[in-house]
Amino acid sequence: MRIALCQTNPIVGDLAGNAQKILAWSQRAVDEQADLAVFPELCVVGYPPQDLMDRPSFMDEVNDAVDYVAHQLPSGLAALIGAPVRNDDKTGKRLFNAALLIENGAITGTAYKALLPTYDVFDEFRQFEPGDARHVVRFRGRKLGLHVCEDMWNNKEIAPFHLYNANPIDELAAVGAELFVNLSASPFAVGKSEERTQLIQESCREHGLPFVYVNQVGANTELIFDGDSRVHAADGSILWHAKSFEEDFFVWDTEETPSTSLTRHLSQERRNSDVAQIHDALVLGISDYVEKTGPSVFSKALVGLSGGIDSAVTCALAVAALGPDRVVGVTMPSKYSSGGSVDDSHALAKSLGIEFHNVSIKPAVEAFGEMLEPLFVGTDEGVAEENIQARARAVTLMALSNKFGYLLLSTGNKSEMAVGYATLYGDMSGGLAVLADVFKTQVYELAHHINERAGNELIPQNTIAKPPSAELKPGQLDQDSLPPYDVLDTILDHYIEELNSAEDIVRETGYDEALIARIIRMVDRNEYKRRQAAPGLRVSEKAFGVGRRVPIVMRRTAIAKEPLDRL
């Protein structure tokens, strides 16, 4: 049997466009003499469709789209597609997350997703009812162990605990599956590909069965999907590995021997460093945000250039995503801006080949000063005056965004967002936060990677080398109020991503207990800022945004570790 793996990039809600893409790739599968074309999870609607599925009219349109695909599918080909399906029972959630086998104008096999994740960015139990039985789907003499995304993740033997009682992989093997087939919409995070490899290899070796895995690629708002589709032999070895961060296609002949497949196809596998993966993910995130929203909404991307590393990296990523003719850079000096910062911004714009403007905010800041002088009289200058500068820049950028239909890209990084080193309605303004899940130390790694990839100095060396500063008061440096970024990022990684306590961080790092306690307080008390931030592209397992739900109003206390009779 010849199976076509169709790693596609659907658009959420674009039922007509997604259906046409399924049919186009199905024709490609027929041209390659495939018997079966396999598409990603929920490929008819795009992932995640969220509360679109609550609308009865939308689900009627989904049914029409599935019916259209079924009747237009090329003759002689069957396809496995993902779509929400209504639950006709009187109890339970109103929908199933389904994998549908379609052939000859009809649905001939169905598998409902059994394990519905409700952690991090996932909230599938909000709409879906879990499938309660596992059975093989028969296709041309083969018994397919058909399942959907999360259904394969509870088979990890080395896990310290399992999230679910059921194990669909084991259950499918027990009822006679001869080949595992997984339809996925699994988001990217650094290290996720290696985790998938280990997990699939364990399943193959445990049950002695080959494994076909087809994952969505593309970005939908903050979530980025790397694809990473693959075929594993029964012994766990990789027979084919899709390209990451782009659509890809491959036809696997189940009769090919592993040695032949390895020789012919494994060369397509790309293994990149973490920083290269982050770069490619962010580029895809920017591109799909703009293109899927539509050029009629955003004609270009707009970046405020400070001469610093964050805005430089954001701008370079935008150029890689959209091209230099669709990126505009604006530097907005105040009386505290150094000449070097303006020069570095101009040098960056010139090296990237983008449109560039210099708009002084001095008149605006002075006007605000005069306006507020009667109220501020007798007080010392401080954060309020500093933030007026950041907000004057935001007003300038948003005016350009409104006037010309530009998408303003927010340039703050994860380190700054974590500790609140950002100005609400100032530098936090924008439609998309490109670096919101990238620590400051990683931003520097990205800058070096961008230059190495280009083979020349796209980002000026002075921008990389100079100490970071918001330049909101004379001689200001980030390190005046923050520890060195390598120290800060280590603490933040332990607290935000590893969920470690202060005591654990002290023990693991050896850093000063008072410093760690201060950083944790800064993280906790700035949740209100992050709740108002632009959507941030997710590249880690724990990003700020939809996957991290922390109360804004809270007070953390604990029972003292004293004998009860002394309390």
Please give the positions annotated as active site: 41, 113, 149
> What is the torsion angle, in degrees rounded to the nearest 10, for the CA atoms of residue 331, residue 486, residue 443 and residue 392?
-30
Residues 94 and 81: their CA atoms lie apart, in Å, by 20
Residues 261 and 280: their CA atoms lie apart, in Å, by 27
Residues recorded for the chain: 567
Going from the C-alpha of 538 to that of each of 102, 286, 412, 416, 555, the distances in angstroms are: 34, 12, 14, 16, 28
Task: Report which of 215, 401, 449, 436 is spatially closest to residue 290, judged by C-alpha positions.
Answer: 401
Going from the C-alpha of 50 to that of each of 46, 122, 544, the distances in angstroms are: 10, 10, 19
First CA to last CA across the chain, in angstroms? 72
Tokens 């230099």, residue located: 324
Residues 272 and 246: their CA atoms lie apart, in Å, by 14
- Do 70 and 107 touch, CB atoms closer than 8 A? yes
- Do 270 and 248 touch, CB atoms closer than 8 A? no
Residues 365 and 389: their CA atoms lie apart, in Å, by 6
- Do 215 and 228 touch, CB atoms closer than 8 A? yes
Does the CA dihedral 47-281-213-200 come out positive or negative?
negative
b (16+ CB within 10 A) / e for 423-437: bbebbbbbbbbbbbb
Query: CA 246: distance to chain centroid?
Result: 14
Residues 203 and 217: their CA atoms lie apart, in Å, by 23
Ordered alpha helix ranges (H), 122-222: 168-174, 192-207
Tokens representing residue 75 in the block: 């003759």
What's 116's DSSP letter?
-
Residues 180 and 453: their CA atoms lie apart, in Å, by 38
358 phi/psi in degrees, rounded to 5:
-120, 110
What's 541's DSSP letter?
S
Tokens representing residue 553 in the block: 């109003």
DSSP reduced 3-state for 317: helix
- Paired with 102 in beta bridges are 79, 107
Residues 183 and 145: their CA atoms lie apart, in Å, by 11
Cα radius of gyration rounded to whole Å, the chain: 26
